[in-house]
Structure 1
Amino acid sequence: MTDFHVEGRRPTAAVVTGAASGIGRATAVWLAAAGMDVGITWHTDEKGAQDTAAEVRAHGRQAPVARLDLTELPEAAGVIDHLADELGRIDVLVNNAGTGTATPFLDIDLATVRQVLDVDLVGPFLCSQHAARRMITQGNGGRIVNVTSVHEHQPRVGAAPYCAAKGGLGLLTQVMALELAEYGITVNSVAPGEIATPMTGQEDEDVRRTSRPGVPLGRPGDAREVAAVIAFLAGEGASYVTGASWAVDGGMLRMGPMAGSHLADHGWRRP
């Protein structure tokens, strides 16, 4: 019978991919406020990554920065080891870097399909391997959080490779949770709905002033609301939580993401 590892060390070092803005930046800052040093990756926005690093350092924490292009696999995943070396260890990996499309299934080309699958699925797979191997060597367990989407659970027209990748990442999360549990490593996914970030064309706006009639809470989410859930899963309080998908969507999944983001009035609220 396997001797299961019970971790006994507070997480002190994290890596957050795609942390130049949006959910990644909010998560990096939240983890820093919780007392973690945070490695930060960026793809095209180096200035954004440096701005994130400055916010992390303002909390008195280390913030090494590295470029990560998940279309350059498998070599790109070595960035996890590079940042872990700079931090001295890695206790938490947040796979947040991602991309998407808005192209009909019949029109999308193979190169785009492969790009989306590499960035949103194969990249997190390989980055998690690097992180998990180091966590096992360290011997104190760890946390891996995969940022998926409501489209981990529900489809969207025009997003075939994105939905395939996010759905795959959700099921990969469950397999990883089963296989890594004996090492004290928990693995969960966080599935955001519409969040005010650069990816959705919304940055630093007051989400309370934006109406979304088809979302039960009536508005988009703020990146910090997603970061709060990620930080919980990365912390000591979630030590018995693994293999789960946490929707942070204002109730959108209860409506279906197509309806939730596209309904123009509140008529659905009345029988």
Structure 2
Amino acid sequence: MSAAMGPTAQDSDVPGSEFTPRAAIVTGSDSGIGKATAIALARAGMDVGITYHSDADGAEDTARLVRELGRSAEVARLDTTEAPGCGDIVDDLADRLGGLDVFVNNAGINGGPGFFDTDWDTWRTTVLADLDGAFVCIQRAARRMVDAGHGGRLIAVTSVHEHQPLAGFAAYDAAKHGLGGLMKTIAIELGHYGITSNSVAPGEISTPMNNATDVDARDTHRAGIPLGRPGDAREVAAVIAFLASPAASYVTGVSWVVDGGMLQMGSQAGAVIEADDWRTPRRAD
């Protein structure tokens, strides 16, 4: 780990400061939040396992950036809908990295139609990708950490919709609620192993998933967000990097909302919405 992130002599007596993360896996790190997170963890001194679903070139670019920071990078394809087999990829990357201290579950799919328009196949695919596959991968990572006996950090990227649903995203909302609940349960069960478990719940972030590739968030105005703009993937990655660090040793079972204040706007929106068009769910595409 780099000196900038490492414990100082003054901090050496702080419980948890002995945790020194050297190896991390970030799923879905070929672009967006995952890519920014892989780079942030490499900058903090970690070797990084990088996974992708279809963008192999994006994953290789992430690996290049990690290596430019002087850290090792291992790349593998991972599809969370291929559960439980997707857990084997976690084990393979951990073997190639020589261990696993931090696991960031970022892979998943977005959106989905409204409740009555959600057929069984869409429901199963969304929940499989965003919850079932996540469960398998997180469980594999946790077993590695328990067996190693050095503690660890489990972090799931959920969504503001873990906390507040959005019309038109029935399966997605359900999966993200479930993933947030899973991480809280893990926090209770694995705390005595020195393993923390937290979620990070982004709001609108300028990423490819939101059709905003290479868009500067500062150039987009959002009247409904107190900070007046979408977030940047690096702003989410900074929170994840903190949760992965020794400094977060007494933080577990929490969902960290990174949304520019969006979730605080419920009463404001209720006062100004005058049309009923929101009742017709918008499609994810």
How many residues get paired?
Answer: 258
Report the equivalent of 1:253.
263
Shift >4 Å, 4+ stretches: 257-260
Question: 2:17 touches 2:247 (CA, 8 Å); kept in 1?
Answer: no
Give the Cα–Cα distance (whole angstroms) in 2 for the partners of residues 29 and 81 of structure 1. Answer: 21
Amino acid at match of 1:125: F
* Aligned residues with identical type, % of pairs: 60
How far residue 98 of structure 1 moved from its aligned partner, in angstroms, is 1.1
After superposition, what is the alpha-carbon deviation per residue over 1:13-38, rounded to whole angstroms, capped at 9, x for unaligned? 00000000000000000000000000
Query: SS at 1:187's partner residue?
Result: strand
Structure 1 residue corresponding to 2:140, chosen from 98, 105, 130:
130
Q: How much does 1:128 deviate? A: 1.0
Matched-pair contact (CA < 8 Å) for 2:112–2:172: no
Q: Which one of the candidate residues 160, 185, 210 is aligned to 1:200?
A: 210
Q: Is the 8 A contact 1:177 1:243 kept in 2?
A: yes
Matched position secondary structure for 2:49? strand
Cα offset for 1:127?
A: 0.6
**Which residue, 227, 230, 238 being the options, matches 1:220?**
230
How is 1:1-271 mapped onto 2 (pairs within 5 angstroms)? 8-256=18-266, 259=269
Deviation at 1:236, TM superposition (A): 0.6
Displacement of 1:204: 1.8
Contact 2:16 2:246 in 1 (8 A): no
Q: Is the 8 A contact 2:67 2:73 kept in 1?
A: yes
- CA distance, structure 1, for counterparts of residue 146 and residue 80 of structure 2: 24
Unaligned regions of 5+ residues in structure 2, if any?
1-14, 274-285
Does the aligned pair in 1 maintain the 2:112–2:171 contact within 8 Å?
no
* C-alpha RMSD of the superposition: 1.8
Distance in 2 (alpha carbons) for counterparts of 1:154 and 1:6: 33
Write out per-residue CA displacement over residues 173-202 of structure 1, whole angstroms, 9 at most, x where no aligned residue: 110000000100000000000000000000
**Distance change (3 Å), C-alpha of 1:258 and 1:146:** farther
Instruction: Compare 96-105 and 132-141 and name the one that shifted more.
Output: 96-105
Q: Deviations over 1:96-118 (max 9, x none)?
A: 00112241211111111111111
Q: Distance in 2 between matches of 1:204 and 1:35?
A: 26
Shift of 1:257: 11
Query: If the length of structure 1 is used for normalisation, what is the TM-score?
Result: 0.92
Show structure 1 runs of 5+ residues with no match. 264-271
SS class of match (2:196): strand
How does the TM-score come out when normalised to structure 2? 0.87
Give the secondary-structure state (helix, strand or coil) at the position aligned to 2:260. Answer: coil
Q: Aligned-pair distance for 1:91?
A: 0.1
Match of 1:269 in 2: none
Counterpart of 1:101, as a letter, is G
Asked if the contact 1:7–1:140 (Cα under 8 Å) also holds between the matched residues in 2, the reply is no
Structure 2 counterpart of 1:232, one-letter code:
F
> C-alpha separation between the residues in 1 aligned to 2:146 and 2:79?
25
- 1:187 partner amino acid: S
